[in-house]
Amino acid sequence: MTAASSPGEAARSAVAEAARRRTFAVISHPDAGKSTLTEALALHARVIGQAGAVHGKAGRRGTVSDWMDMERDRGISITSAALQFGYRDAVINLLDTPGHADFSEDTYRVLTAVDAAVMLVDAAKGLEAQTMKLFAVCKHRGIPIVTVINKWDRPGKDALELMDEITERTGLTPTPLTWPVGIAGDFRGVLDRRSGDFRRFTRTAGGATIAPEELLSAEEATAREGDVWLQAQEEAELLTETGADHDQESFLGGVSTPVLFASAVSNFGVGALLDTLVDLAPAPAGRPDAEGAVRGLAAPFSAFVFKVQSGMDAAHRDRLAYIRICSGVFERGMVVTHGRTRRPFATKYAQQVFGRDREVVDLAYPGDVVGLVNANALGVGDSLYSEKPVTYPPVTTFAPEHFAVVRSKDTAKHKQFRKGIEQLDSEGVVQVLRSDRRGDGSPVLAVVGPMQFEVATHRMEHEFNAAVHLDRLPYSLAMRTDAESVPLVSASGGTEVVQRSNGELLALFTDKWALRMLQQRHSTITLEPLVAAQL
């Protein structure tokens, strides 16, 4: 593939190629099966030969998207992962996200880079707390949602009960595209509501390969499944009578959500999800900049950094900046402008990402996710552009709730310690806070959830060869303050003033009562909540 030879051809190419892109994230509560679904989607697209989640204690494999040692050891997603692959005539950019609340900041950043989301719901547990938090972010951003009821091969709730729960808790109208044949725990296949046919599934050993599907007519399904099929037909007719049929306009407008039933671990219903995403999910469109003006797909190249990750290649200790392309054509080696510094930035080392695996990419288009290697100058939220300047909205940051002083266990490794701490800060794994009181050798780590401390200490030891010791601090609340207010804050008991890497001053409090008392004593003091950046 070669680059377009003129600006006009490049613009046309960007628009045409963007129409083929489907960029989406998978969101859910922990243990709903996100990484397993991600693997199953890649399997059905035939970009891997065998799913990683082969069940059984002996010979358990890790999924492609869960590549960190801690993820494999714990069986949970700790960091988001990007996978790109082709399916039919489309190019899929799939972003797997952590479900655990302690890593929500990483998930929220990913949601700035997608055009649609797949909301995974456990058939037995329904809509759980973290799922609802992520749904709220998608709704705020206007991201259309496809819902997948997962684990239908296990005992769970009634299908109609789950539809009612989606309506009541999200306000969306569920419009099932498929309907289960057999109750939860007796998953025989699905009724395709658009054709009326029966898609019958056959299990494979451990769910490691694509589950064969047999397409039967309604008459054949009645003869084969009897009352179970007839009940599925009756429930599907009831859905039609209540207006639960798919409408593309209401889906894209955030009024309804197409629903599919699946078992990701058995690879049941996964092919239907891929087809749904290609057929119904929106392609990339022009993206608003920080001022609200839309930069069209045909405009010169632009992108923003939504994630920075190091440690993916232990042999090279490289640092990868994930960018979402918003407009124009990306050509490897092009020199673009770094929006924050206004300096030229060369893109010689650009790669297409598939979990931990990567290969060189020469061209990319709006909607694509590209990894820029050793992009040390780039930080989360930075914009890149060519020709016409643009700055995209800031990427979400959150108010930390847990704090700890970090020190190197070996003072002789101060260089490694400092490098590791700076790296974790730039990636957004933790927020690093400093003060004259504690000195450069004892910064404060601030996190949303305590498991982030475990990730930080693990990476400091194994990636940077600088084992650390953490001393938890009693603070649970951070407020923005200014230089004029520092003396008053510092003189108050149970408080401390620290500085973010961007120069912002924060006042730390043990609890809201300590904050309230200080505000009552000094009514003019500057103490502002740390509101998340634009979602």
Q: Give me 186's structure tokens.
A: 């007796």
The DSSP annotation for 278-299 comes to: HHHSPPP--EE-TTS-EE-TTS
d(CA 159, CA 147): 13
Residue 227 marked ligand-binding:
no
Bridge partners (DSSP) listed for residue 374: none
d(CA 383, CA 198): 48
Three-state secondary-structure class, residue 419: helix
Q: Give me 296's structure tokens.
A: 């069209």
Degrees to nearest 5, angle at CA 60 with 58 and 62: 165
Residue 402 marked ligand-binding:
no
d(CA 73, CA 82): 20
Terminal-to-terminal C-alpha distance of the chain: 36
d(CA 376, CA 520): 45
Strands 116-122 and 21-27 turn out to be parallel
10-41 CB burial, b ≥16 within 10 A, e <16: bbebbbebbebbbbbbbbbbbebbbbbbbbbb
Residue 96 marked ligand-binding:
yes
Q: What's phi and psi for 113, nearest 5 deg?
A: -110, 5
Residue 337 marked ligand-binding:
no
Residue 97 marked ligand-binding:
yes
Write out the binding residues for GTP: 96-100
Write out the binding residues: 96-100
